[in-house]
A and B are shown apart, each in its own frame.
Chain A
Amino acid sequence: MSEYFHSVTLDKDACRGCITCVKRCPTEAIRVRDGKAQIIKERCIDCGECIRVCPHHAKHAVTDPLSAIENFKYKVVLPPPSLFGQYKRQEDLELIRAALHELGFDAVYEVAAAAELVSDATRRLLEKGDIKKPVISSACPAVLRLIRIRFPNLLENVLTLSAPMEVAARLAREKAVKETGLASEDIGIVFITPCPAKVTAIKNPMGTEKSDVDLAVSVSEIYPALLAAMNKCAKEGLGPETAQSGRTGLSWGNSGGEAAATFTVRYLAADGIENVINVLEEMEGDRLADQDFVELNACPAGCVGGVLNIENPYVAATRMKQLRNYRPVACNTLDGAEIPDVILWDAEVKPVEALRLDPLPEQSLKMMREIEEIESRLYGLDCGSCGAPSCRALAEDIVLGFSTEDACIYLLKDKVDAVRSSMLSLKIDNRDKSSEKA
């Protein structure tokens, strides 16, 4: 898989070349060129903001079709905690499990169950105390990518544990192999994804060489079929099947759930990509040194705010709160004293220098001088008509060779005005001369 696989893609026909996504992209990774949006691959973190804001629905997340599960002999589905907040009056864990079987899955492994194991491991690491605090959650892949690009200093604070999705996939595969006797490649592990960032985390993982998830089907695709299956199961009394997770695991679907499960009082939870960036700025300045744990979610309200979900994030969050009330505190804990390998990262996450102007320091300085010089000539309106998010970004693009000053309509207007006034003065001069002759 290419280093820059992205789930977020553009439907060129639907794109009108407006600058809504350009303005909202937290890493300034989008430009409008030749009337269409373009994603700068090195900078994109797959947060899905552009999908959220596009008025023409031209941005999409590449996911796998549900029909792809037929490629596997034995199909295991991984529902994330946030899925349980999607359905009105039927936010019933056991009914959803039964309905997933109805859709053709042979087994269900709740991501929330694995989340409880990750919480247990996190508590052990915090207790042991030999990690750099504040510890930053590694669960949101968009945040992890953001840190890698914009806050490389903070990589050493990141929890070196796999996200619950990955842990669930590994445990589910192990269990399926054991129970069925099938070869690993005959077993399909299918994650129901609330966001494009998770799809990218599967195709191009961080913290591990290869993901154990085979397919990522979006919540938006499975939603109607699952609803119909739930209605059928409720009517015919199919299932129910005993649920696997408690309050601790389910609370991971909301912002603050993972942090609260660390049992420390010195924690902070921020959600929404702009808020996340502000917290990371604070951390980089060493101003959150008194905290133990920092949970960051790119989406508003946490994973329930994932852009592939159906329900309003805050409605889903409140439903999940009600659902959790009927569950035990936790259903899963780690056996033994050590954190098992299945939870630990097995690959290092290294910084990506996507913002650097040039590999040579002297050249970077020179380019920065040119950027400052060009920016001083621009109007500072940040209108976006040139296709860049701000005048500063246009100045950077010009120096990097991706754009020209003529892209600025105000500078172009000045140029045209200058030509026009010189043409006018030419005319007057000629008339004056001709009148002298006469």
Chain B
Amino acid sequence: MSETNLHYHYVVPGDDFTRAGLASNAVKKILKQLGIEPETVRKLSISLYEGEINMVIHAGGGEIDVYIDDQKIVAVLVDKGPGIADIGLAMQEGWSTASEQVRGLGFGAGMGLPNMKKYSDELDIQSTVGIGTTVTLTVNIKNN
């Protein structure tokens, strides 16, 4: 790790929708102060927000580590939730296992993972049913 790397750690509480989005908003603010180009900020904040919401809806919360250097932003989202049985299926737009209650709140439209893929440059999902899921998303920084 280089001298100038930044590392942030966030805890996402489970089943608390009011607090989901805190990590993505905090990172967004830091990226703006770093002068990162607006489209990159937008991509990261959307993909990270989806990740946070997923943790709340499906996994009872989790932890997020965000690493920033002059090339890229990497967010590692780790939860000890139920795991994803079929990642290919979960990646399809509109596919969701969210409960009726969660859908009633306007979430669970099956766009979480597809949006994370759309708004990141690299997305890696490691999941084991019954153990949990680790999502690593990377957004590259355009240097001008």
A interface residues with partner B (beta carbon < 8 Å): 150, 152-153, 281, 284-287, 351, 353, 355-359, 361-362, 364-366, 368-369, 372, 396
Contacts and interface: CB of A to CB of B under 8 A. Distances in A.
Contact of A362 (B4, B41, B42, B46): B4
B35 interface: yes
Contacts of B33: 355-357, 364, 368, 396
B35 A284 contact: no
A286 B24 CA distance: 13
Contact of B143 (A152, A286, A361, A366): A361
Contacts of A287: 49
Contacts of B34: 356-357, 361, 364-365, 368
For the complex of A and B, 3 pairs with smallest distance between CB atoms: A356-B35, A365-B4, A153-B38
Contacts of B36: 361
A281 B4 contact: no
Nearest to A372: B6
Contacts of A396: 33
A281 B3 contact: no
B11 interface: no
A356 B37 CA distance: 11
A361 B35 CA distance: 7
7 contacts: A153-B38, A153-B42, A284-B45, A356-B32, A357-B34, A365-B70, A368-B30
A362 B70 CA distance: 6
Interface string B53-87: 00000000000000011100000000000000000
A380 B34 CA distance: 22
Contacts of B25: 281
Interface of B: 3-6, 21, 24-25, 28, 30, 32-36, 38-39, 41-42, 45-46, 49, 68-70, 141, 143
A150 B21 contact: no
A84 to B, nearest CB: 39
Contacts of A372: 6
Nearest to A351: B38
A361 B6 contact: no
A366 B3 contact: yes
Given A150-B32, A355-B33, A359-B35, A366 B45 contact: no
Contact of B39 (A153, A353, A365): A153
Contacts of B49: 285, 287
A6 B70 CA distance: 35
Contacts of A351: 38
A365 B45 contact: no
Given A285-B21, A285-B24, A369-B6, A364 B35 contact: yes
Given A355-B33, A356-B35, 10 more contacts: A152-B38, A284-B28, A285-B45, A285-B46, A286-B46, A364-B34, A368-B6, A368-B30, A372-B6, A396-B33
